[in-house]
Structure 1
Amino acid sequence: MRIIVPMAGMGKRMRPHTLTVPKPLIPIAGKPIVQRLVEDIAKVCQEPIEEVAFIIGHFGDKVEKDLIAIAESVGAKGTIHYQEEALGTAHAILCAQSALKDKVVVAFADTLFKADFKLDTNADGTIWVQRVEDPRPFGVIKINENNEITDFVEKPQEFVSDMAIIGIYYFRDGEYLRNELQYLLDNDIKDKGEFQLTNALENMKNKGTRFIPAVITEWLDCGNKNATVYTNQRYLEYIKDEEGLVAASAKLENTVIIPPVYIGENAQIKNSVVGPFVSIGNNTTLDNSVVSNSIIQENTVLKNGNVSNSMLGNFVVYEGRQSDLSLGDYNTLKD
């Protein structure tokens, strides 16, 4: 089994937090978004993960080393592939041609999920979906009485289905997928000016490929600050009973912790109230502050703050008052 993770996008909706790191490496409950994604996929697969192929822009050596380590954390080999130009989802996946073989899961790195199923690896293909109240902003699927997908419909303005595609796909035959993607590029078949995976799916279905849906229990977005803070909250609720959410090296002085929280290595917190639903990165300092429902990344200093529903990046210095914040890396703010 291989996992292919396209993540070459700029993450513009998450700026300023994506000015120095790609969005999939923003931490959720102490781990990067993409690590949470890979780990959760590995849990529902019934076979060992042999390779995790990351499709990126030129993010630098440190990011690439971090991604390789994420693959190794699930017992897989990590490989790096580059998308030089944003030409659509089909083009992005094809940038990892060497990984398109055998059984493959393709997972776009801007979404997380929770599921209570085990992947049926004997199916030709599986499209992971979530039932939504308003399907108009999404691509959706239609199914027949045999639970087979009959149609892919992009952003339907009239109701055809409430089963939205979340951006995770399983293919039993990676070589077959590769050939169908290459066919789109060779014949310049585009939708809205880009090479789209959905066109390949439609072609495969018309040739007899049997796609089935896998309905997840929760779909978590990391597209903007508020959505990412909410996703952090939900993950802390999921893992609240795990050991080690407060690092042994963290120093807490005259501080109240309201679980669930994550506190990283060598964090220093004094005269503060932290929680619920707070993630604090390594080497971060809090003094005389109240923090709830927020993400504070590494090497940041927060003094005299009353912070809720906020994200503070790395190497931030903030001294101030109650706020709803979205501060990127290396900012300094004093009230």
Structure 2
Amino acid sequence: MKALILVGGYGTRLRPLTLSAPKPLVEFCNKPMLLHQVEALAQVGVKEIVLAVSYRAEQLEKELKAHEKKLGIKITMSHEEEPLGTAGPLALAKGILSADNEPFFVLNSDISCEFPFQEMLDFHKNHGKEGTIVVTKVEEPSKYGVVVYDDTGRIERFVEKPSVFVSNKINAGMYIFSPAILDRIELRPTSIEKEVFPFMANSGQLYAMELSGFWMDVGQPKDFLTGMCMYLTNQKQRSPERLYNGQGVHGNVLVHPSAKIGKNCRIGPNVVIGPDVVVEDGVCIKRSTILRGTTIKSHSWIESSIIGWRCQIGQWISFFFLVPTDPNRSCCLRFIFIVGDAHSNNSINDICLD
């Protein structure tokens, strides 16, 4: 089996992190976002994964080639000369995806969930049509484009931001297709959601499979942290042995074995600490991710923040809703700088670090 992962975007929603690394390589819960998906695909027998890329392809290829032998898969780069949207990449990789005449997976690169690939495959084979999309439930469907389908899963229509209730299920960014779909797509910038799916639904060729468990698009900072919390809760239920239970820990916390945590710290709830991180004495960290190589000096307070690679955080600093990323600058703030969720983006970085 084969799979195509859409990684061609610039990751602007996750800046400033993506100024240092392509979005698929940003660590989510101590593993590159893309690697969560690659490992899950390998577990269901996928042997070749095509990455639809247009940005920093060399960096992606270098990082992921190391995992090919370990996982027993082949990773192929499909280079876009121009951005091809969400359908054009399928046409560009048509020769690979149709080679064995088997169903293939397609997914967005910035989603976090339990990746029910085996269930998708079984569901798709059972209905025998061209396409299956995974859908997930949302609390406020009026903010989204929703999917309307019957009791068998056959999709009837798509409704954009409905003013009255018609469905509370949205596209979760994971698909499985039969090769016949490739005949519908031209090699040009195309939206699969707007230019392909409606026609498939009208001809009875598109089905929806409901996702059980957590799901989050982690492509922007506030959702990155929400997805992290969901992931840690899932780990507590599924693999509690992976979580850290050292002194001063409260709630779900994931700590890389190479990280060092000082005395009298309060860590958690909902914290991820990456490789080679040093947390000195008396530090409090809540609902945050600390990426590789960062040092947090004593008695600092970090909450609802993403701290980038190799940062130096000084003593007695308080961070709330921040995303510092520059390894060449030390943070020496001596006051609480609070920025709400709505402003948790790259525009705050220079303000906070000057």
Residue of structure 2 in register with 1:204 after alignment: 200
Q: Which amino acid aligns with 1:260?
A: N
Q: Which amino acid aligns with 1:231?
A: G
Q: Which amino acid aligns with 1:179?
A: D
Counterpart of 1:334 (choices 328, 332, 335) is: 332
Residue of structure 1 in register with 2:267 after alignment: 274
Q: Report SS of the residue matched to 1:169.
A: strand
Counterpart of 2:184 (choices 176, 180, 183) is: 180
Q: 1:157 to 1:82 in 2, by over 3 A?
A: farther
Q: Which amino acid aligns with 1:149?
A: I
Residue of structure 2 in register with 1:86 after alignment: 83
Map 1:29-48 → 2, pairs under 5 A = 29-40=29-40, 47-48=44-45
Determine if contact 1:72/1:78 at 8 Å carries over to the other structure.
Answer: no
Task: Tell me the distance in 1 between the aligned counterparts of 2:115 and 2:51.
Answer: 23
Counterpart of 1:317 (choices 296, 312, 316) is: 312
Matched, 1:287 2:280: yes
Determine if contact 1:149/1:213 at 8 Å carries over to the other structure.
Answer: no
Q: 1:68 to 1:159 in 2, by over 3 A?
A: farther
Q: Which amino acid aligns with 2:51?
A: F
Residue of structure 1 in register with 2:162 after alignment: 156
Question: What TM-score comes out, normalization by structure 1 length?
Answer: 0.84
Task: Tell me the distance in 2 between the aligned counterparts of 1:167 and 1:72.
Answer: 27
Task: Tell me the distance in 2 between the aligned counterparts of 1:326 and 1:177.
Answer: 41
Determine if contact 1:8/1:56 at 8 Å carries over to the other structure.
Answer: yes
Gaps of 5+ in 1: 186-193
Q: 1:212 to 1:237 in 2, by over 3 A?
A: closer
Q: Report SS of the residue matched to 1:279.
A: strand
Q: What's the Cα RMSD here?
A: 2.6
Task: Tell me the distance in 2 between the aligned counterparts of 1:69 and 1:328.
Answer: 26
Counterpart of 1:235 (choices 226, 231, 242) is: 231
Per-residue CA deviations over 1:279-319 (Å, capped at 9, x if unaligned) read: 11111111121112110001111113111111001011111
Q: CA deviation at 1:17?
A: 0.8
- The structure that is strand-richer by fraction is 1
Residue of structure 2 in register with 1:2 after alignment: 2
Matched, 1:168 2:174: yes
Task: Tell me the distance in 2 between the aligned counterparts of 1:216 and 1:73.
Answer: 29
Matched, 1:220 2:216: yes
Residue of structure 2 in register with 1:131 after alignment: 137
Question: What TM-score comes out, normalization by structure 2 length?
Answer: 0.79
Task: Tell me the distance in 2 between the aligned counterparts of 1:321 and 1:98.
Answer: 54
Task: Tell me the distance in 2 between the aligned counterparts of 1:221 and 1:244.
Answer: 23
Task: Tell me the distance in 2 between the aligned counterparts of 1:219 and 1:76.
Answer: 26
Task: Tell me the distance in 2 between the aligned counterparts of 1:99 and 1:74.
Answer: 20
Per-residue CA deviations over 1:47-100 (Å, capped at 9, x if unaligned) read: 511111111223153421323345655532211122232242112333333332
- Which deviates more, 277-286 or 87-96? 87-96
- The structure that is helix-richer by fraction is 2
Determine if contact 1:52/1:71 at 8 Å carries over to the other structure.
Answer: no
Q: 1:321 to 1:25 in 2, by over 3 A?
A: same
Gaps of 5+ in 2: 334-354
Task: Tell me the distance in 1 between the aligned counterparts of 2:149 and 2:284.
Answer: 49
Q: Which amino acid aligns with 2:75?
A: G
Per-residue CA deviations over 1:117-136 (Å, capped at 9, x if unaligned) read: 82224132211101222223
Alignment: residue pair count = 315
